Amino acid sequence: MNKEINSGTYSVLFKQKGFDYLSDHLSDINYSKIFIHVDNNTKKNCLDLFLNKINLEKYELIESKDGEENKNIYSCLKLWEIISDKNGDRNSLIINLGGGVVSDMGGFIASTYKRGINYINIPTTLLSMVDASVGGKTGIDFGILKNQIGTFYDPQMVIIDPDFLKTLQKNQISSGYAEILKHSIIYDLKTFKLLIKNDKTTHDINTIYDSVSTKNSIVLIDKKEKKERKSLNYGHTLGHAIESYFLNTKKKLLHGEAIAIGIVLASFISNKLFDFSFEHVISIKKHIDLIYSKIEINENEIDSIIDLLIHDKKNSHGKINFVLLENIAKPIYDVQVKTNLIKESFKYYLS
């Protein structure tokens, strides 16, 4: 894969081309200190692989505990403390080697330390390759509210190498695949048709490339999410609420697992409000049912999930704003949906 994606201020590069580019960047800039930010899993599974791909003589390792429950201010305090103790200065670099938790939190740390230092994302999960590492959003959770605190702050580059996926668990691959499917639904009919006919995830390098290109082109039009970027929240209004709700329960869901449910719900609602073809709704549900295990959600839980929606940061003036579809690749933003229809959509998902 020799192609690269231009994200305005930075590039997304693939495989060895990315590591060559990184080597050149490091000799050009001559950073005072390089911090490699890992979590316990990427330290074990990805660090040696990364160091084999690039010649890095001196670096400091900074480690977070893995998992969404650690994407918070307490983890940030520890990271800021270590960077400060090790005399990180304005000319330091953070390399985030990990999934979306590592890149969201590492990007946030970088954007605030000394009013902003450089960082680079090397995503090691499918989800962070196609979504979290690209687009310049950084952030942490606040209580049960996802990504409540954060910044827009671009990395110097993103390097995508599917070699890292070899050690990733299967459910994490499915989780990332939800974003690939989402990108195709909102923007890329050709890819959608290819994906939907399979009974399993498609995540080869070309599919990853297409998915990143889709996200990137949307971000380039509307970085600050005033309009078009909202389409990336397809399936996320309810998906986030589902994810937040189950975060502290035994049914804890991965991000993409919650989004997959959100995609089915939003597709159903799109049919009711905008005549989005029911054929598409059926094929999306069928495809998702084949890939993800069904999550039982009872009526009380549905009520609690709907309550949580009011806290979603995308809601303005207390209204619940949905991204819906007129057709594949034809999203509509800022639609308000009545509670009864939301409940009906849950029934459809559970059917």
Ligand X SMILES: NC(=O)c1ccc[n+]([C@@H]2O[C@H](COP(=O)([O-])OP(=O)(O)OC[C@H]3O[C@@H](n4cnc5c(N)ncnc54)[C@H](O)[C@@H]3O)[C@@H](O)[C@H]2O)c1
Judged by CB under 6 A, the stretch of 126-134, 278-286, 297-305, 334-342 that binds ligand X is 126-134
Kindly tell me which of 5 and 168 has the beta carbon lying closer to ligand X.
168
Site membership for ligand X, residue 175 (CB under 6 A): yes
Closest residue to ligand X, based on beta-carbon distance: 100
Kindly tell me which of 167 and 283 has the beta carbon lying closer to ligand X.
167
Q: How many residues are given for the chain? A: 351
Task: Give the three-class secondary structure for 291.
Answer: helix
**Per-residue string for binding with ligand X, 52-91, x by CB under 6 A?**
--------------xxx--x--------------------
Q: How far is the CB of 24 from ligand X (least distance, A)?
A: 25
Kindly tell me which of 219 and 335 has the beta carbon lying closer to ligand X.
219
Q: What are phi and psi of 37, to 5 degrees?
A: -100, 115
Judged by CB under 6 A, the stretch of 38-46, 151-159, 265-273, 286-294 that binds ligand X is 38-46
Site membership for ligand X, residue 99 (CB under 6 A): yes
Site membership for ligand X, residue 42 (CB under 6 A): yes
Dihedral sign computed on CA atoms, order 252, 168, 100, 175 = negative
Kindly tell me which of 118 and 133 has the beta carbon lying closer to ligand X.
133
Task: Give the three-class secondary structure for 224.
Answer: coil
DSSP 129: I
Site membership for ligand X, residue 217 (CB under 6 A): no
Residue whose pair of structure tokens reads 């949580």 in the numeric block = 308
Torsion, Cα 190 123 164 285, to 10 degrees, reads: -40
Kindly tell me which of 210 and 273 has the beta carbon lying closer to ligand X.
210
Residue whose pair of structure tokens reads 């959100």 in the numeric block = 262
Task: Give the C-alpha separation, 340 to 59, whole Å.
Answer: 55
Residue whose pair of structure tokens reads 């974003």 in the numeric block = 179
Kindly tell me which of 102 and 253 has the beta carbon lying closer to ligand X.
102
Please give the residues from 244 up to 283 whose contact with ligand X meets the rule CB under 6 A.
255
Q: How far is the CB of 304 from ligand X (least distance, A)?
A: 20
Distance of CA 340 to the CA centre of its chain: 29
Which of 12, 83, 121, 137 is close enough to bind ligand X by CB under 6 A? 137
Dihedral sign computed on CA atoms, order 156, 159, 164, 169 = positive
Judged by CB under 6 A, the stretch of 6-14, 124-132, 310-318, 329-337 that binds ligand X is 124-132
Residues 6+ apart with CB under 8 A from 230: 222, 314, 321, 323, 331, 333, 334
DSSP H helical segments within the chain, as ranges? 15-29, 40-45, 47-53, 73-85, 100-112, 126-127, 170-187, 189-196, 205-221, 236-247, 255-274, 278-291, 299-309, 339-350
Kindly tell me which of 175 and 345 has the beta carbon lying closer to ligand X.
175
Kindly tell me which of 240 and 280 has the beta carbon lying closer to ligand X.
240
Site membership for ligand X, residue 131 (CB under 6 A): yes
Site membership for ligand X, residue 119 (CB under 6 A): no
Binding site for ligand X (CB under 6 A): 39, 41-42, 45-46, 66-68, 71, 98-102, 104, 124-125, 127-128, 131-132, 135, 137, 146-147, 164, 167-168, 172, 175, 255
